[in-house]
Amino acid sequence: MKWLSEIGEYCLFLKSVFTRPIKWRIFFKRLVNEMQLIGIDSLLIIMVIATFTGAVAVIQTAFNIDTPWIPKSLIGFTARQALILEFCPTILSLILAGKVGSLIASEVGTMRVTEQIDAMDIMGINSASFLVLPKIVAALLFFPILIILSIGFALLGGYLVTVFTDLLTVAEYVDGLHLDFNPFSVGYSMIKTVVFAFLITSISGFHGYRIRGGALEVGQASTRAVVDSSIFIIIFNLILTQLLLS
C-alpha cells in the first residue's frame, strides 16, 4: 500500500504547488531562468539525438521496405509518421526525463537537505510553489518548442541520408514527407509532449522535495525521479495513443 500513500502525497504536493505566487514579478523572473535551464540548455542534446534518430529511421525503413511493389516515397512517409507520432514526443521526452528530471530532483533535493527549503518555509513562503511551479510552467511552455524543433531536425537527419546514400532520392523523400499529411498528427504529438512535460517536472520535483537525509538520498531521489517519470511517460503514452488515435 506504500504506492497508494505516495500517490496521496503526490496529490497533496501538487495542491501546494498550484497556488498563486506571492509576487508575479519574481515568478516571471524565475520562469525565465527555468526556461534557460530546462529548455535552452537541452537544445543541443535534442538536436543531436533527433538528427541521428531521423537518419536511422529512414535507413531502417528503407531496408525493411525493399520491394519494387512499394514506391520509395513511402519510406519518407513512414519515417515522417514514426518520427512525428512516436519518436520525437516519446523517445525525446524519455531523454528529457533523464536530463531535466535528474536536474530538478537533485536541485530541489539539495535545497531540502541543506535546509534552504526550511528557510523559505520559516519566512512564510510556500516553498513547493516557489521552487516547482516555475519549473512546471517552463517545461509546459518550452517542451513543445523542443519537440517541434526535434521533428525538424529528425526530418533533416532523414534528408541527409537521402543526400549521402543511394537508398532513395531527395525528391522521393520529400514526396513521402508531403504524402497524406494530417496536421492533427502534430497536434497529437504536442498534446503528448505537454502531458509528458507535466509528468517529468512534477514527479521529479516531488521526489526532490520529499527527501529526508543527506547526499546519498539526493542521488537516490534523482534516480527515482528518472525511473518514475519514464514509467509514467510510457503508461500515459499508451493511454493517450488509445484516446487520441482510436
Partner 1 sequence: MITVEHIHKSFGDKPVLKDVSYTFETGKTNLIIGESGSGKTVLMKSIVGLIVPDSGDIKYDGRLFSQMNGNEKRKLRYEMGMLFQGGALFDFMTVEDNVKFPLDMFTDRTEAEKRERVQFCLHRVNLTDAHKKMPSELSGGMIKRVAIARAISLNPRYLFCDEPNSGLDPRTAGLIDELIEEITAEYNITTIINTHDMNSVLKIGTTVAFIYKGNLWWQGDKKSILNTDNQELNDFVFAMELTKRLKK
Give burial (CB, 10 Å; 0-12/13-18/19+) of 202: buried
With contacts defined by CB under 8 A, how many residues of the chain interact with partner 1?
15
Q: Which stretch binds partner 1 (CB under 8 A): 7-15, 70-78, 113-121, 235-243?
A: 113-121
Does residue 140 bind partner 1 (CB under 8 A)? no
Nearest approach, Cβ of 181 to partner 1 (angstroms)? 44
Does residue 123 bind partner 1 (CB under 8 A)? yes
What number of other Cβ atoms are within 10 A of residue 149's Cβ? Answer: 16
DSSP per position, 33-58 = HHIIIIIGGGHHHHHHHHHHHHHHHH
Residues 12-41 that bind partner 1 (CB under 8 A): 22-23, 26
Q: Which stretch binds partner 1 (CB under 8 A): 9-17, 111-119, 189-197, 237-245?
A: 111-119
* Of 85, 70, 81, 76, nearest in space to 55 by CA: 76
Nearer to partner 1, 111 or 221 (CB): 111
Nearer to partner 1, 40 or 119 (CB): 119
What do you get for the CA distance between the two ends of the chain, in Å?
A: 33
Q: Which of 14, 59, 91, 121 binds partner 1 (CB under 8 A)?
A: 121
Nearer to partner 1, 60 or 116 (CB): 116
Nearer to partner 1, 116 or 220 (CB): 116
d(CA 119, CA 2): 29
Nearest approach, Cβ of 101 to partner 1 (angstroms)? 19
Give how far Cα 196 sits from Cα of 35, 76, 93, Å. 16, 27, 7
**What cell numbers appear for 79 in the block?**
519515417
| Residues at the interface with partner 1 (CB under 8 A) | 22-23, 26, 110-111, 114-116, 118-119, 121-125
